[in-house]
Amino acid sequence: MTSDLKGDSTTKRCRRCREIKPETEFFRRGRFAVGLRSHCKSCHNKARSPESPWQSRSVSLRLRGLPSPGIPALREALGEPQTCYLCGSNSLDWKTAVIDHIMPMARGGTNAPANLGWTHNSCNKLKANRTLPELVTLLKSIIRFQEHLGR
């Protein structure tokens, strides 16, 4: 066996896409396990990517102390992030979107899908532990006061 791996790189056939690729295109099985995965890196990433943003949202709902409805129920109820239910902008994406509790958890709201909505992270912070009517009341009083000041 040669020790010059750069000049004589070994290859492996991906079991999913059937392409023969250099071994550097395969992830290792795990930090302490021997050998490479049977799927190439690009197949591995493709298989993960549709679930992973949902996965992280589901986990973060669970970490806040109540059971998550699970990925299929979340996907069904919310769809991909697009429209912020607070400001109405259609500019949401996975980077800017967070799941807001319409009735805040601090006020007894749960992770039931009907109590969840996509918002901008910034809109979510503004709402904080307010109910929707409380937020609207606050915003109206801010507008009235600022108009009174002539701003």
Interaction between residue 14 and Zn ion (CB under 5 A): yes
Contact 117, 99 (CB under 8 A): yes
- Mask: binding to Zn ion, 108-127, rule CB under 5 A, as x and -? ------------x--x----
State which residue, 43 or 116, has the beta carbon closest to Zn ion.
43
- β partners of residue 28: 36
* Window of 34-42, 61-69, 107-115, 128-136 that interacts with Zn ion by CB under 5 A: 34-42
State which residue, 12 or 62, has the beta carbon closest to Zn ion.
12
In the list 11, 13, 17, 55, the residue contacting Zn ion (rule: CB under 5 A) is 17
Interaction between residue 99 and Zn ion (CB under 5 A): no
Cα angle 61, 131, 55 (rounded to 5 degrees) comes to 15
State which residue, 61 or 98, has the beta carbon closest to Zn ion.
98
Contact 67, 81 (CB under 8 A): no
State which residue, 7 or 88, has the beta carbon closest to Zn ion.
88
- β partners of residue 26: 40
Min. distance of Cβ 20 from Zn ion in angstroms? Answer: 10
3-state secondary structure of 87: coil
Give the C-alpha separation, 80 to 102, whole Å.
18
Interaction between residue 40 and Zn ion (CB under 5 A): yes
Interaction between residue 84 and Zn ion (CB under 5 A): yes
Contact 61, 55 (CB under 8 A): no
